[in-house]
Amino acid sequence: MKLRQGQFSFLPDLSDDDIRVQAQYAIDNGWAVSVEYTDDPHPRNTYWEMWGHPMFDNPDAAAVVFEVNECRKEHGGTYIRVIAFDASPGWESIRMSFIVNRPATEPGFRLIRQEAEGRSVRYTIESYAVREPEGMRY
Amino acid sequence: MDESRPTHVDLTAAFEDSGVRDVLRELDETLIGLEPVKSRIRETAALLLVDQARRQLGLATETPTLHMSFTGNPGTGKTTVALKMADLLHRLGYVRKGHLVTVTRDDLVGQYIGHTAPKTKEVLKKAMGGVLFIDEAYYLYRPDNERDYGQEAIEILLQVMENNRDDLVVILAGYGDRMDRFFASNPGFRSRIAHHIEFPDYSDGELLHIAQTMLARQNYRLDDGARAAMEEYIAARRGQPHFANARSVRNALDRARLRQANRLFTEASGPIGADRLSLITEPDIRASRVFRGGLDVDRKTGQAMRQAAE
């Protein structure tokens, strides 16, 4: 099951050139672009591992593609995303976020039903991947 | 051949449209002397234009190697020309942003193990889409210390120069003889650099011309006596140590302006016109130490005085 998180996730995977153009858009708007990776695909997993520092002062997006490829060498089997942080007053938040790398197989999510008081049922999801310890998933 | 491709190109139109003509004209107007450098840049521009045209016709596909080395004595305009070169490459579409990142050994080489690679990569990332100008590049290589981290920076540089040729252009700069030794001990660099441009020293006449242009830009001018003094100054300064061509001239003019301001302050009684405020006279230049044998003389007399005091 293909993970659909962030922008462009219903499109075919982005090529390096697509990544460059998108990152350039973020840079031209003055947003700090950074690369992050994780092996926990849960949608509420907000804070992924940082790959290096956010790139505050690189005027060209070739640097982002360079870092994405460096990260792929090291963590090619996990999810990698590019995010753009807008530091301007009133925003101070993520403006863009898109996945640029995913594991070869994505096992998807399991639905968990929990019996609660009064015969009510609580639902939650869990990725099949996270049953393995960190670093051994995928 | 592809149907959509044009069958012929107009080089003159490309020359006009890309703005290369403007850059070359600016180069001619703002830089005094440096004829061999200008002609090399004109040649390079022509080569890049033709190459671009060839690519439009589908005759060439690879990005040509654009890395350069600028060799010459200090103050011969290497950084200024690098700025113009970045602009030129940007207009021709060989670099996307056209900014110039100037670095020296300190910015590339770290202080402890594992510090160099991230530092060098950070600089390279900053320079991507533009031109990386490495001043006094030979300091990167220190043959006397085999554990020097400079070697690591060189390896990363070479790798990026080869793999990311589309993303950045590297210009190495430094004194001629030391750069030659640097290239001799790092053959990888020599083969990856296509354009070697040598910057000759300025002649005395050119330096005087430069002095006048610099002053004119700041709305100052020399009177006849001062011009003669400046001519003598340049000839005398050339023979003294640490002569740095146009940079020495700029420093001399800065000091002359200081003296002029001081003179006006002490002499002036009553209002001064714009004319006097912008005139640099002979005594302003004659007061320089250069006419008394330069820096070394002062230092020696200072030492003698200290010794006498002891």
Residue B76's Cα: distance from chain center in Å? 7
Unique residue bearing structure tokens 């950084």: B79
B191: left (phi over 0), alpha (psi -120 to 50) or beta: alpha
Task: Report how far residue A85's alpha carbon sits from residue A92's, in angstroms, rounded to the nearest whole number.
Answer: 7
Size of the A and B interface in Cβ pairs below 8 Å: 35
Question: Could you read off the pLDDT of A60-85 as tens digits, one per residue?
Answer: 999 999 999 999 999 999 999 999 99
| pLDDT computed for residue B271 by the predictor | 83
CA nearest neighbour of B245 among B201, B298, B290: B201
Domain range list for chain B: 11-199, 204-309
Element containing residue A85 per DSSP (H, E): strand A79-86
Closest by Cβ to A62, choosing from B99, B118, B164: B164
| pLDDT computed for residue A136 by the predictor | 86
| pLDDT computed for residue B308 by the predictor | 56
Task: Report how far residue B132's alpha carbon sits from residue B168's, in angstroms, rounded to the nearest whole number.
Answer: 7
Q: Closest residue of A to B165, CA-based?
A: A62
Asked if A27 and A61 count as a contact pair (C-beta separation under 8 A), the reply is: yes
Query: Which architecture does CATH list for B204-309?
Result: Orthogonal Bundle (1.10)
Task: Report how far residue B279's alpha carbon sits from residue B64's, in angstroms, rounded to the nearest whole number.
Answer: 50
Element containing residue B75 per DSSP (H, E): none
A92 C-beta neighbours (distance < 10 Å), count: 9
**Contact criterion met (CB < 8 Å) for A60 and B96:** yes
Please give the ipTM for the structure prediction: 0.77
Give contacts of A 52-91 with B, CB under 8 A. Answer: 52, 55, 57-63, 66-67
Give the gap in angstroms from C-alpha A74 to the nearest C-alpha of chain B: 15
| pLDDT computed for residue A37 by the predictor | 96
Question: Could you read off the pLDDT of A15-49 as tens digits, one per residue?
Answer: 999 999 999 999 999 999 999 999 999 999 999 99
- Give the length of chain B: 310
Q: Which domains does chain A have, with CATH numbers?
A: 16-105 (3.30.190.10)
Average pLDDT, chain B: 85
Q: Enumerate chain B positions whose Cβ falls within 8 A of a Cβ in A.
A: 96-97, 99, 118, 124-126, 128-130, 164, 166-168
Asked if A28 and A132 count as a contact pair (C-beta separation under 8 A), the reply is: no
| pLDDT computed for residue B1 by the predictor | 44
Average confidence (pLDDT) over B135-148: 86
Q: What is the DSSP string of A19-64?
A: HHHHHHHHHHTTPEEEEEEES---TT---PEEEEEEESS--STHHH
Q: What strand order describes the sheet that includes B131-134?
A: B100-103, B131-134, B169-174, B68-72, B195-199
Residue B170 banded pLDDT, cuts 50, 70, 90: very high
**Contact criterion met (CB < 8 Å) for A59 and B130:** yes
Average confidence (pLDDT) over B233-237: 89
User: What is the helix, strand, coil percentage profile of chain A, to 5?
Assistant: 25, 35, 40
| pLDDT computed for residue B44 by the predictor | 86
Give the gap in angstroms from C-alpha B255 to the nearest C-alpha of chain A: 36
Lowest model confidence (mean pLDDT) among A86-90, B30-34, B176-180: B30-34
**Contact criterion met (CB < 8 Å) for A55 and B125:** yes
Residue B299 banded pLDDT, cuts 50, 70, 90: low
Asked if B103 and B133 count as a contact pair (C-beta separation under 8 A), the reply is: yes
| pLDDT computed for residue A123 by the predictor | 96
Closest by Cβ to A59, choosing from B97, B118, B124: B97
Give the gap in angstroms from C-alpha A30 to the nearest C-alpha of chain B: 15
- The two tokens of residue A97 are 């976020």
Question: Could you read off the pLDDT of A91-135 as tens digits, one per residue?
Answer: 999 999 999 999 999 999 999 999 999 999 999 999 999 988 988
**Contact criterion met (CB < 8 Å) for A60 and B164:** no
Task: Report how far residue B289's alpha carbon sits from residue B135's, in angstroms, rounded to the nearest whole number.
Answer: 30
| pLDDT computed for residue B48 by the predictor | 85
Question: Could you read off the pLDDT of B81-137 as tens digits, one per residue?
Answer: 999 889 888 988 888 888 999 999 999 999 998 899 999 999 999 999 999 999 999
Alpha-carbon Rg of chain A, whole angstroms?
Answer: 17
Domain over B11-199 is classified CATH 3.40.50.300: yes
Question: Could you read off the pLDDT of B39-92 as tens digits, one per residue?
Answer: 988 888 888 888 888 888 888 777 788 899 999 988 888 988 999 889 888 988
- The two tokens of residue B58 are 């589908």
